[in-house]
A = this chain, B = another copy of it.
Amino acid sequence: MASNNKSHVVGVDLGGTKILAGVFDADLSLIGKSKKSTKAKRGVEAVIDRIARCVLDAIDECDLKPEDVRGVGIGAPGATDPESGTVIFAPNLEWRDIPLKAALEKALKVPVFIENDCNIQALGVHEKELKGGPRHLVGIFLGTGIGAGVVVNGELYSGFNRTAGEIGHMVLDVNGPKCACGNKGCFEALASRTAIFKRVLGAVKDGQKTLLTEMLGPGLKDMRSGDLRKAIKKGDKFVQKVVEDAAAFTGIAVANVINFLNPEVVVLGGGVMQALEDQMLEIVVRNARQYAMSGVDKGIQILASTLGDDAGITGGAVLARRQTRQA
C-alpha cells in the first residue's frame, strides 16, 4: 500500500491520558493508526517526543515515510493559537504557552497544524461524516469533561480569545451540584463522565445497591462508561436513572444552543455518548425539542456522531488537508 505522492495526511488526538495518531489517504479514509499513553507527568519535552514517535509509528504502519505526508493536524485539550502554533493553556497536561507546532515540525520535518480538540472533532464530523453540508454546526463532546466545537458558515469559529465552545461551564441549574470550576450547576457538573461517576460513587457510599458493585467490587475500581451500559442492560434502575438524568441535562444544553445559535445540526460525541448512545440519545433529543422555543428547532438535526474514538484524528486530518490545500 506504499504511495509516493503527498496525498496523505496525519491526524493526531492529544489527550490527557493517551495520544492517538491516524494516517488518512486522499479520500479521507483511515488507513492505519497508532496509540501511546501521554505520560504528561514526564514533562513537555517527553510528551512532544511521544507525539512525534506516535505519528512516525502510524506512518510506518502504513508502509509510508514522513516525506509522503502532506501535513499533520493535531487537536490539543485546551486553548490553542493556530496562527502561532501554540498551546496557550491545557490544564490536563499542565501546559502553558507551548510552541507545539514548531517543536513537532522540527522533529517530523512535515508541516504541523494545531487546534483545540473539540473544534477539531467538530471539524472532522462536519467534513467526513456530514460531507461538509451544514453551514452552521455545533458538536458537543461528553467525556471526562464536556466541550463543544462551533462551525459557522462552514469554518471553525473560535471567538475572541480562541476559547469558544466552553459549553461545559454553561450554567443550567444555578443551585445544582458544585463544579470543579467553583460555580454550581454547570453542564459538566451534571452530565460529564466525572459527574456521573461521582454521583454513582456517592450513592454507593450512602448504601445504594447497584449491580456495579457486583461487577467491579465495592470500590467500583476502574469503572468505565461501558460498565454503566452493561448494568442498565441487566436492569439496574439506579444506574439507569443516573444516566437518564445526565441525558436530560444534555438535552437542555442542546436546547440552549439551538435557541441561542440556531445551528443547522447539533452533533453529540465523546466517550460517554459513544458508550451510552442507546441509553441517552432519545432522551437528549426529546428534551432538546421540549426546551427549544416553538418553531426555532424546525428542521434542525440532533444526532450522535458515528466517528467515535476516531473523531479527533479525523478532524486533525481534515485540518491538515485544509491548511495544505493548493490554491
Contacts and interface: CB of A to CB of B under 8 A. Distances in A.
A160 B300 contact: yes
Nearest to A138: B260
Contacts of A256: 170-171, 256
Contact of A293 (B136, B148, B166, B299): B166
A215 to B, nearest CB: 31
Contact of A160 (B157, B164, B262): B262
A261 B162 CA distance: 10
A291 B171 contact: yes
A262 to B, nearest CB: 3
Contacts of A79: 295
A298 interface: yes
A232 interface: no
A285 to B, nearest CB: 16
A163 B262 contact: yes
A239 interface: no
A29 interface: no
A296 B161 contact: yes
B263 A169 contact: no
A326 interface: no
Given A160-B262, A170-B256, A263-B159, A181 B293 contact: yes
Nearest to A182: B290
Given A158-B262, A176-B174, A163 B295 contact: yes
A260 B262 contact: no
Main secondary structure of the interface of A (DSSP, over half): loop
A5 interface: no
A292 B161 CA distance: 12
Counting chain A residues whose Cβ lies within 8 A of the other chain, the interface size class is: 35 or more
A10 B261 CA distance: 29
Nearest to A134: B160
A183 B260 contact: no
A296 to B, nearest CB: 5
A89 B290 contact: no
A97 interface: no
B252 A160 contact: no
A153 B158 CA distance: 11
A165 interface: yes
Contact of A164 (B164, B167, B174, B260): B260
A4 interface: no
A299 B160 contact: yes
A173 interface: yes
A261 B161 CA distance: 10
Interface of A: 79, 89, 135-136, 148, 150, 152-153, 157-167, 169-176, 181, 183, 185, 249, 252, 255-257, 259-264, 290-300
26 contacts: A89-B295, A135-B160, A136-B159, A136-B160, A158-B262, A159-B263, A160-B264, A161-B262, A161-B296, A161-B299, A161-B300, A163-B295, A164-B262, A165-B262, A166-B296, A169-B291, A169-B292, A170-B260, A171-B252, A171-B291, A174-B249, A175-B175, A181-B294, A183-B291, A260-B261, A261-B261
